[in-house]
Structure 1
């Protein structure tokens, strides 16, 4: 598998064209008016999350609730999303819901996703990623079930 994006963009919005970024944020504002004021942040963080999934195939990383809005929005633009996946990951980044909502996906939950994003060189914006204080935890303080119930499915990875 050849991964085209081998280091983070200066800003995650640079991972797509400016015209597409504008379309995606406008769609978030239309479909989720309660998040219109942060549509840019949601989409930037969704792109950083997806690029991190691309760099970590099989990790089962999962988004926060707000970031999942950006992912769902991008998925509606199937041609553009498919092209992004081919360019970023050399494979399609599948969106897989958890069968049991509220339980962490295979990647270890939000803390593992945040750690992977930071390791990939992306800034994690606390506006759309809850802090560990906002998460259910395993009793040891580790956030483990804060993602939106969706993850990059390692079982469906192609490539």
Structure 2
């Protein structure tokens, strides 16, 4: 069992500031987000990925956090190196809508909190709707 963290941390600390800024700028441009929103999305996405990397569990991000994972994946040299250096393996993205229900989001959030991450509740909604045009098979429109 994982011991609960006593100090809260942010996902953005998992990469250097220059990479975080590049990822945030890309996420904002690619997904039409205000930069301040893209910063929050990237922060939560990195925290989420760290929990998966550390636990080895397959979790699902919320609809609003998933763009962070897509953004990092598209920066493949950095993403691959980050996964290998931190976890000794690559964290694959295998979308599946059945994992995006309220119970799954509550579980992901609880695990993030257990590892000490600050959780932005507004980005971890309930069951996701289709997220066109980047659907990836995780909604009824795909």
User: Do both share a fold (TM > 0.5)?
Assistant: yes
Query: Matched residue of 2:82: which SS?
Result: helix
Other-structure match for 2:29: 30
Displacement of 1:45 in angstroms is: 0.4
Count of paired positions: 125
CA deviations over 1:137-158 (Å, ceiling 9, x no partner): xxxxxxxx78x888xxxxxxxx
RMSD (CA atoms) = 2.6
Query: Matched residue of 1:66: which SS?
Result: coil
Q: Hey, what's the Cα distance between the residues in 2 that align with 1:52 and 1:36?
A: 24
Other-structure match for 2:3: none
Query: Matched residue of 1:49: which SS?
Result: helix
Find 2:112's aligned residue among 95, 113, 117: 117
TM-score (norm 2): 0.77
Moved over 6 A (4+): none
**If each structure's helix is expressed as a fraction of its own residues, which one has the higher value?**
2
Other-structure match for 2:11: 12
Q: Hey, what's the Cα distance between the residues in 2 that align with 1:86 and 1:9?
A: 25
Gaps of 5+ in 2: 1-6, 137-142
Matching of residues 79-94 of structure 1 within 5 Å: 79-94=77-92
Contact 2:45 2:69 (C-alpha < 8 Å) held by counterparts: yes
